[in-house]
Amino acid sequence: MEISMEMIKELKERTGAGIMDCKAALKDTNSNLEEAVAILNKKGLNKADKKADRAANEGLVVVKMSDDNKRGLVIKLNCETDFVAKTDNFKDFCREAADLVFSKNYPFSTELPADLDELRRKIVAKVGENTLVSEWAFIDRTGVLYPYIHLSKVGVIVDFVFSKDVSKDEDTQQFMKNIAMQITAMNPVSVTQEGIPAELLKTEKEKYMEEARATGKPEPVVEKIAEGKLKKFFEASVLLDQFYILDEEKRIRDIVADFSKAKGVDVKVASFIRINL
What residue spans define the domains of the chain? 5-50, 51-140
Mean pLDDT computed over every residue of the chain: 91
Mean pLDDT of 196-209: 91
pLDDT of residue 59: 97
- Mean pLDDT lowest among 37-41, 130-134, 253-257: 37-41
- CATH architecture group of domain 5-50: Orthogonal Bundle (1.10)
pLDDT of residue 115: 94
pLDDT of residue 153: 97
pLDDT of residue 50: 56
Q: What are phi and psi of 249, to 5 degrees?
A: -85, -15
pLDDT of residue 35: 84
Residue 149: pLDDT band (50, 70, 90) is very high
| CA distances for 161 relative to 64, 190, 199, 237, angstroms | 20, 16, 28, 21
Let me know: does 157 contact 148? Beta carbons within 8 Å.
yes
Q: Which tens digits make up the pLDDT trace of 60-100? A: 999 999 999 999 999 999 999 999 999 999 999 999 999 99
Judged against a pLDDT cut of 90, whether residue 272 lies above it is answered with: yes
pTM, two decimals, is: 0.82
Judged against a pLDDT cut of 70, whether residue 5 lies above it is answered with: yes
Residue 48: pLDDT band (50, 70, 90) is low
Superfamily of domain 51-140: Elongation factor Ts, dimerisation domain (3.30.479.20)
* CA distance from start to end of the chain: 49
Q: Which residues of 218-246 are buried (b: 16+ CB within 10 A; e: fewer)?
A: eeeebeebbeebbeebbeebbbbbbebee
pLDDT of residue 127: 87
- Mean pLDDT lowest among 107-111, 158-162, 171-175, 212-216: 212-216
Mean pLDDT of 94-123: 94
pLDDT of residue 53: 66
pLDDT of residue 148: 98
Q: Which tens digits make up the pLDDT trace of 212-258? A: 888 888 888 888 888 899 999 999 999 999 999 999 999 999 999 99
Mean pLDDT of 157-181: 97
